[in-house]
Amino acid sequence: MKILLIGDIVGRPGREAVKIIVPELRKDRGVELVVGNVENIAGGSGLTPDTVDELLNSQMDVLTSGDHIWKKKDIYKRLDSDQRILRPANYPEECPGRGATVIKSSSNKAVGVVNVLGRVFMNHINGCPFRAAEKEVKKISKDTKIILVDVHAEATSEKIALGRFLDGSVSAIFGTHTHVQTADEKILPRGSAYITDLGMTGPQDSVIGRNIDTIIEHFITCMPARFDIAEKDIELQGAIVDIDEDTGKAISIERVREKVEDYL
């Protein structure tokens, strides 16, 4: 089974990239399921019902998130009612939504997806991502051997450690949050696919999705500024993982970088 994993989707340019490229990748590469991190889809921070619907209508199947999940309150009720949208599993149980789900692929195979939030450098008070992932994986493994884990975290060390911790118990562990694609995709010793960060789906002529001049001025002056979304050089970044449906082990992982202009 081939699954497309998409790195942090940023604003309208990122949503447009998904709309244009994902249907083509599904058709040309035989992709059966699409998972992507969406915590930046609405104006660059948070998500709304309308932006969620836009991506689900663009042939995405599961939407993961991270520390910006609570930025827009109009998504809270949707988190409770829609199992296709995840918030990190290591937030308190009292929070809206869920941190894991089991969804059917286009070939009607059950696939589990888990979302956790890192703690290193994140300035958030949340539970242990290691134990939260372990707990969710144990529950999901009763229903399917194909399990994916989005580790939304800043520190590469924390992501790598989580990858090694989960190796063999899941099909793939992939990092999100930094908006910079890493070149360390691999199959870990016990059969799980791994990449430290999928990258960013959105404007590459930017500072992690934002207008360059404004960010530079902010760093120099330390003054508050409006970080508008950039508009140029739009790419979809992520990875395609091929998984053995019988064992749940990864067969291969391939980085993806697709320019919107190549599809127009």
Task: Let me know: does 182 contact 146? Beta carbons within 8 Å.
Answer: no
How far from the centroid of its chain's Cα atoms is residue 194's Cα?
13
Q: Which residues are known to be catalytic?
A: 68
Q: What is residue 120's DSSP assignment?
A: T
The region, left, alpha or beta by phi > 0 then psi within -120 to 50, assigned to residue 248 is: left
Q: Please give the span between the terminal C-alpha atoms of the chain, in angstroms, as a whole number.
A: 28
Burial of 218 (0-12, 13-18, 19+ CB in 10 A): middle
